[in-house]
């Protein structure tokens, strides 16, 4: 089966590598986003997918606007591909392109469709406190993740999982599911999506990162892990990244690892504490600061002070010499 692969970030790499390794498939070309300037040196850097393509000496096409790039469109037509495989490419394929491959265009999407159509399904799934997500393979159409579904695979979301961890799990799961989809393709019966059940995972805006301590503890916790590692509060008029948190509530302790057993033993004492949202109401040895939210308490498990590397909540308390009553402001 001759395949043209469309993808850009690290999320797409496991699928590409599985396709390259598999004896039943031949990746004849790779389409990815143009190189971008990154890092302190502001140097032009290739996408994660392009790096893999170069390692395997596969032709790479990088149109800035693929719908209007006649050179790339001509190459795609001439490729005589059986399938286009699309994994987090970053551009929308035109109707003309969708009709090019003999067996259609197959997308690997990081949610259980029709939930979380769009650009950031993993992040918004965690943000909304979902306890399960997964991968859907589908035949692409002109809409935004609206095509008929082929196969699904599920994975749990644990209380302390963040978007990077779930993305790595789903990237591997998506690679396996795509291979299964292609091998079964002739026999699969595509299933239409129920549009009435659809939700949309929009692009994340910078304003989504700002922490508001008046929200509930679990809402802030889900925000921090969903938008990891970018959520920010303010300490002494400087940005403070909140990298990981733990909701200090009895309802969640059964979901926590054994290392938090000490917290569970102190739950009764902690439950009696009150303060203004953003105020440190307790400091627990070897853990860190416990902050009052609009409803409930939140332990700061990992933070990053401006100009420094990420550090544990306990190192943060000691380094900044924090005390009960100190205030961390909104982002």
Q: Would the annotation count 310 as a binding residue?
A: no
- Cα separation of the two ends of the chain: 51
User: Which residue in the block uniquely carries the two structure tokens 């627990």?
Assistant: 284
Q: Would the annotation count 284 as a binding residue?
A: no
Separation of alpha carbons 241 and 104, rounded Å: 44
Q: Would the annotation count 113 as a binding residue?
A: yes
Burial 263-286 (b: 16+ CB within 10 A, else e): beeeeeebeeeebebbbbbbbbee
Separation of alpha carbons 216 and 277, rounded Å: 10
295: its two tokens: 């409803």
C-alpha distances in Å from residue 261, one per residue of 148, 256, 265: 46, 8, 7
Q: Within 13 A of 161's CA, how many CA atoms are on the CB side?
A: 23
Separation of alpha carbons 300 and 296, rounded Å: 13
Peptide bond before residue 181 is cis, with ω within 30 degrees of 0:
no
User: Which residue in the block uniquely carries the two structure tokens 């700002």?
Assistant: 210
| Interacting residues of 228 by C-beta distance below 8 A, sequence separation 6+ | 162, 163, 164, 243, 244
Q: Would the annotation count 114 as a binding residue?
A: yes
Cα diameter, the chain: 71
| Helix/strand/coil for 232 | strand
Annotated binding site for (6S)-5,6,7,8-tetrahydrofolate: 111-114
Annotated binding site: 111-114
């Amino acid at each position: 089966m001759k395949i043209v692969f469309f993808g850009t970030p690290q999320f797409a790499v496991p699928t590409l590598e599985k396709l390259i390794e598999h004896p039943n498939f031949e990746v004849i070309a790779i389409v990815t986003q143009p190189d971008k300037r990154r890092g302190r040196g502001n140097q032009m850097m290739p996408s994660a997918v392009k790096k893999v393509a170069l390692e395997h000496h596969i032709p790479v096409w990088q149109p800035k606007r693929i719908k209007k790039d006649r050179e790339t469109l001509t190459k795609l037509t001439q490729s005589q591909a059986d399938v286009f495989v699309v994994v987090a490419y970053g551009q929308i394929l035109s109707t003309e392109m969708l009709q090019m491959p003999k067996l259609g265009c197959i997308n690997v999407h990081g949610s259980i469709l029709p939930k979380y159509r769009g650009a950031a399904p993993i992040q918004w799934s965690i943000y909304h406190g979902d306890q399960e997500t997964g991968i859907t393979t589908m035949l692409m159409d002109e809409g935004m993740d609206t095509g008929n579904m082929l196969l699904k695979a599920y994975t749990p979301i644990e209380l302390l999982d963040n978007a990077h961890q779930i993305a790595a799990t789903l990237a591997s799961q998506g690679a396996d599911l795509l291979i299964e989809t292609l091998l079964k393709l002739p026999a699969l019966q595509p299933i239409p999506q129920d549009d009435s059940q659809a939700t949309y995972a929009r692009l994340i805006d910078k304003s989504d990162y700002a922490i508001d301590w008046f929200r509930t503890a679990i809402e802030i916790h889900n925000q921090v892990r969903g938008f990891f590692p970018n959520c920010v509060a303010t300490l002494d008029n400087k940005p403070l990244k909140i990298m990981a948190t733990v909701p200090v509530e009895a309802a969640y302790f059964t979901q926590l690892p054994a290392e938090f057993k000490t917290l569970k033993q102190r739950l009764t004492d902690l439950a009696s504490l009150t303060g203004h949202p953003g105020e440190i109401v307790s400091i627990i040895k070897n853990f860190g600061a416990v902050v009052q939210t609009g409803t409930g308490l939140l332990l700061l498990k990992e933070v990053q002070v401006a100009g420094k590397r990420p550090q544990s909540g306990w190192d943060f308390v000691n380094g900044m010499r924090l005390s009960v009553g100190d205030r961390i402001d909104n982002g």
